[in-house]
Chains A and B, each alone.
Chain A
Amino acid sequence: MTDVVMPQMGESIVEGTLTKWLKKPGEHVDRDEPLFEISTDKVDTEIPSPTAGTLSEVLVEEGKTVGINTVVARIEEGGNGAGARPKAAQPAAQPPAQPVQAPPPPRQSAPQPEPPEQETIQPTPAPHQIEDTAPATGPLSPLVRKMAREHNIDLSRITGTGSGGRITKQDIETYLAQQKAQPAAPAPKTPAAPAPAPRAPRVEPPSPGPLPPSGQARTRIEPMSTMRIKIAEHMVLSKRTSAHVTTIHKVDMTKVAKVRERNKANVQAQYGFSLTYLPFITRASVVALRQYPIVNASIDGNNIIYHNEINIGVAVALENGLIVPVIRNADEKNVLGLQRAIVDLAGRARSRQLKPEEVQGGTFSITNFGSFGSMVGTPIINQPQVAILGVGTVEKTPVVIDDAIAIRSISYLSLTFDHRLIDGALADQFMTKAKQVLEDWSEDVL
């Protein structure tokens, strides 16, 4: 007989209200299976059973508040024949301070390596049996293995859609849904016989019962990822909020290209990152933003908010979306500092290591679609900002200079601005300034 006590759920807690019995007297309970619930200060907590057996006595009824360590129930150990001994071992996962029996180490029959509760609820079919049937399509995640076990699924009947044909959680769910849809499916969800083959004697479903081959479907429905939903909301919100207009300027990047060529190797050697065009363009934007602060503003009702800081968001493409980390006080950085910030932020954006404040507070954004080969784009404003600069690819192009044809490195820069606040003339003055900084580049890199 094991006493079940009201556990202590925290330092200052001296009592708890037993709100619900999850088992009735006489019912069997497995070790670690939720046995009752207590409530302390708006927190409901499920308390797992300290042992396996039959709930023989319930000493505290629902709704009663009792002190910690009060015995609330007794469990008669059973199942393992007559000589069942009290089990003292507490799984690590258990609430503390439950002084049950002190003595002997657990001498359980079946050593169960994994703690999770569900495992104990149903007799677990020997795990390797299922793994044996797993197709040789790479490792399975613990979640998938668990699901397969719980639902008694023969994994060889599932086609994996994950990378390298791996079976994913989604695949299992799809399979289960299909099984449900098939009325005749045997689906014995109660492996009452703990014996050998839990998979229910292959009562062949009528006919080979081919699964609806997903390959033949004309469409496939997949829920959007959270990031996708966010992006979608933001794009539409921005389009609805601002009066988008885009102006495009052709910029001769030849001088910048030369400066870049000259410094590239040294920057790589001394600082360990490569020098791109982006910090030059960011620097030119900063200079132009200083001259035209309204491009660095935002709108609040009928007020214009001028930002004293110049914080530039740089769009970073991710595998399935994008994010815009912010270079704070970009006006205090030279080309080298900007390049370092870009490398750092982009790297951490891709490894999901950005902190919330690092994507906040941007006052202007830059998106470099040129790196994907695009020549001209019309980006969408990053709310609540009022302008965004799009950078096209830098390409050697024949141009006419003083009636002669020359080969120059040309890039198209596009500025999408919010016409509610910024008029075309000002937008073009801004662009002319940025263009002039780039074409007459005069700052040192190293």
Chain B
Amino acid sequence: MRSCQLRELGRVDYGKAYELQQQLAAERKQGLIGDHLLLLEHPHVVTLGRNGHMEHLLAPPEVLSRAGISFHPTDRGGDITYHGPGQLVGYPILDLREWKRDVVGYVRAIEQVIIDTLADFGISAGRVPKLTGVWVDGRKIAAIGVHISRWVTSHGFALNVNTDLSYFQYIVPCGLTKSVTSMAQLGCAADLNDVARCLAGHFGRVFDCEMLLEPAVLAAPGK
């Protein structure tokens, strides 16, 4: 069975996480390392995909920076989006040649992982045709944006656990005039780490790999 190293990074700056992804993706392409799943949270940041539209940024950069939000153009698919505390961000670094050479199949699988995770927390979520992401009653709960180079994936998904949704007012998320939601808004008081652990389990199942845990501690009794 293939294996996938799970790395839970806590709260990481967008730029730092991006560098780490770049590095891991480069090493993955060379076969120096195996598949990885990074799970983390970002401080407030608005990112714009390669094919994004600046007009979907509703606030000028000064307003963003006054609100403590940084801004990053980046090289994933998809339009504009917001990341922030309370949002579970996942960056799988996978070589799709070892799974399926199918980029859309990959996106559908990521959606499945999130749908299954939400089901465990009693939330019934699904897909909306033509609108990549995971939806609950017409509102978006998870966004997806991926970059692939030589079949190695980077970027990934963002699931609103208990995100402060008011931050989405600064953008038109993914260029869609549809509203967003979160697990908390749907009445689920789940903890981000619990959601992360649950998601890692479903990830392993959907992608048919064994999730290995880095020795990065849940908690550490010490003296």
Contacts of B119 in A (CB 8 A): none
Which one of B107, B151, B210 contacts A42 once the chains associate, using CB atoms below 8 Å? Answer: B107
A251 beta carbon closer than 8 Å to chain B: no
How many residue-residue contacts, CB under 8 A, span A and B? 196
| Minimum Cβ distance to chain B for residue A115 (Å) | 8
* Contact across chains for B27 and A10 when beta carbons are under 8 A apart: no
Q: Which residue of B75, B102, B214 is within 8 Å of A12 (Cβ)?
A: B102
User: How many Å from the CB of B144 to the closest CB on chain A?
Assistant: 5
B105 near A11 (CB under 8 angstroms)? Answer: yes
Chain B interface helix/strand/loop/mixed: mixed
Residues of B contacting A380 with CB < 8 Å? 220-223
> In terms of DSSP, what is the predominant structure of the interface of chain A?
mixed
Q: How far is the CB of B15 from chain A (nearest CB, A)?
A: 14
Contacting pair A227 B214 (CB below 8 A): yes
Q: Is A84's CB within 8 Å of the partner chain B?
A: no
Tell me, rounded to whole Å, the shortest Cβ–Cβ distance linking B116 to chain A.
Answer: 15
Q: How far is the CB of A283 from chain B (nearest CB, A)?
A: 19
Q: How far is the CA of A11 from the CA of B219 in the complex (A)?
A: 43
**What total of chain B residues lie within 8 Å of the partner, measured CB to CB?**
53
| Distance, CA A357 to CA B203, complexed state (A) | 13
Contact (Cβ within 8 A) B201 A356: yes
- Interchain CB contact under 8 A, A352 and B218: no
Contact: A142 with B8, CB < 8 Å?
Answer: no
Give the contacts of A42-59 with B (CB-CB under 8 A): 42-46, 48
For chain B, residues 95 to 126, give those with C-beta under 8 angstroms from any C-beta of chain A: 97, 100-107
Tell me the chain B residues, 1-15 only, with Cβ under 8 Å from chain A: 6-10
Q: B44 at interface (Cβ–Cβ under 8 A)? A: no
CB of B8 within 8 A of CB of A43, answer: no
Residue of A nearest to B203 (CB): A356
Q: How far is B211's CA from A8's CA once the two chains are assembled, in angstroms? A: 30
B212 contacts which chain A residues (CB < 8 A)? 352-355
Chain B 161-182 interface 0/1 with A at a Cβ cutoff of 8 Å (1 = within) = 0000000000000000000000
A334 within 8 A of B: no
Query: Would you call A356 and B197 a contact (CB within 8 A)?
Result: yes
Whether B184 is near chain A, meaning CB under 8 Å from some CB there, is: no
Contacting pair A230 B222 (CB below 8 A) = no
Q: Are A48 and B150 in contact (CB under 8 A)?
A: yes
Query: Given A42-B144, A96-B101, A360-B197, do A227 and B217 touch, yes or no (CB 8 Å)?
Result: yes
11 additional contacts (CB under 8 A) given A12-B104, A96-B101, A230-B220: A19-B51, A37-B50, A41-B132, A42-B146, A43-B103, A143-B30, A227-B216, A230-B217, A321-B215, A323-B215, A356-B213
Would you give 16 A-B contacts (Cβ < 8 Å), ordered by A? A13-B104, A19-B51, A39-B51, A41-B132, A46-B150, A142-B30, A235-B222, A321-B220, A323-B217, A354-B213, A356-B211, A357-B197, A378-B223, A380-B222, A381-B221, A382-B219
| Interface residues of A, Cβ cutoff 8 Å to B | 9-13, 19-20, 34, 37, 39-46, 48, 93-96, 114, 116-117, 141-143, 146, 226-227, 229-231, 233-235, 238, 313, 315, 318, 321-324, 349-350, 352-360, 362, 365, 367, 369, 374, 377-383, 388, 390
